[in-house]
Structure 1
Amino acid sequence: MSDRRLAVEAWESLFRAQHEIFERFAGDFARGPLHQGEYDVLLTVTRAPDHTTRLRDITSNLLISQPSVSRLVDRMVARGLVTKCPDPNDGRGSLVTATEKGARAFREVAIEHGRHIAERMSVLSNDELEQLTALTKKLRGA
């Protein structure tokens, strides 16, 4: 078993790094066509085949509750960023599809946001990035 003090110190460092980096990236969404939550929804949707995924898959990728995701998606439907329809394979579920407007807005924000992420992460070598990815996956799977 690992040292408790060291474990707490590592956790606090990880948490503070995530928080500080997230704060710096908030500007990517302040003046763009998408809010952070909308970007996160479209990230999941545009990565899916035919830009369509189940609402529950979006919920599992976001760090907010299912009712909050549903309200967010409904607002995005009203803005013309996505469509939502019943899932023919799951009577209780819904399918969410990115519209052309939504996909275009996502690409616009993703270019700048991706550049900012790459710049911020450039303090790490490729080996360190691979190590960080492996460690965070290990933590998520624990």
Structure 2
Amino acid sequence: MTDRRLAIDAWESLFRAQHEVFEQINGDFDDTLSQAEYDVLLTVTRGIDQTARLRDVTANMLISQPSVSRLVDRMVARGLIAKCADPDDGRGSLVRATDEGAARFRQVATAHGRAIAARMAVLSDEELAHLRDLTAKLRGSSDAGYPHR
């Protein structure tokens, strides 16, 4: 049986660590690319031909489906992504990074990756792998311990 007090202490520590790290690296985002836009482009640029199904983008976001739809529409208007019907799903849509969107993503991703690596450098590689596996387990992932890029 899990010790309730320990579980609460661990949760609070995890929550506070996430919040503090987020605040420290939040400066990576600006008018060039917001964090939410970055998250959309992260999913899209990983897809074949820098394209993803809108439902996959939505599944990777921490905001509601209507909010994702509005965000995608704003990104289309800004020229960061293009949106079209999914030929394999009559009700779905595909989103593709434009050259401008992909370029902005790469620019921010480089700085963001450096900031994350610098902040996480307080942990050893073994600790980072353990943290990754523990957080995957907390998210209910059945693939804790899988190799990552």
TM bin (shorter chain):
over 0.9
Q: Map 1:15-26 to 2 at 5 A.
A: 15-26=15-26
Q: CA deviation at 1:96?
A: 0.3
Residue number in structure 1 paired with 2:39: 40
TM-score, normalising length from structure 2? Answer: 0.92
3-state SS of paired residue (1:63): coil
Stretches of 4+ aligned residues off by more than 6 angstroms: none
Deviation by residue 1:14-71 (Cα, 9 ceiling, x = unmatched): 01111111111111113x5101100000001001111000111011101000000000
Residue number in structure 2 paired with 1:78: 77
- Bigger helix fraction: 1
How many residue pairs are counted as aligned between the two chains? 141
Q: CA deviation at 1:122?
A: 0.2
Residue number in structure 1 paired with 2:117: 118
Residue number in structure 1 paired with 2:12: 12
Q: 2:99 and 2:64 mapped to 1: Cα distance?
A: 27
Cα RMSD over matched residues? 0.9
Deviation by residue 1:46-101 (Cα, 9 ceiling, x = unmatched): 01111000111011101000000000000000010000001111111100000000
Instruction: List runs of 5+ in structure 1 lacking aligned partners.
Output: none
Q: 1:24 and 1:91 mapped to 2: Cα distance?
A: 42
Residue number in structure 2 paired with 1:89: 88
Q: 1:4 and 1:48 mapped to 2: Cα distance?
A: 42
Instruction: List runs of 5+ in structure 2 lacking aligned partners.
Output: 142-149
Residue number in structure 2 paired with 1:65: 64
AA in 1 matched with 2:44: V
AA in 2 matched with 1:40: D
3-state SS of paired residue (2:62): coil
Q: 2:115 and 2:44 mapped to 1: Cα distance?
A: 22
State the identity %: 70
TM-score, normalising length from structure 1? Answer: 0.97
Q: 2:51 and 2:112 mapped to 1: Cα distance?
A: 22
AA in 1 matched with 2:61: L
Residue number in structure 2 paired with 1:101: 100
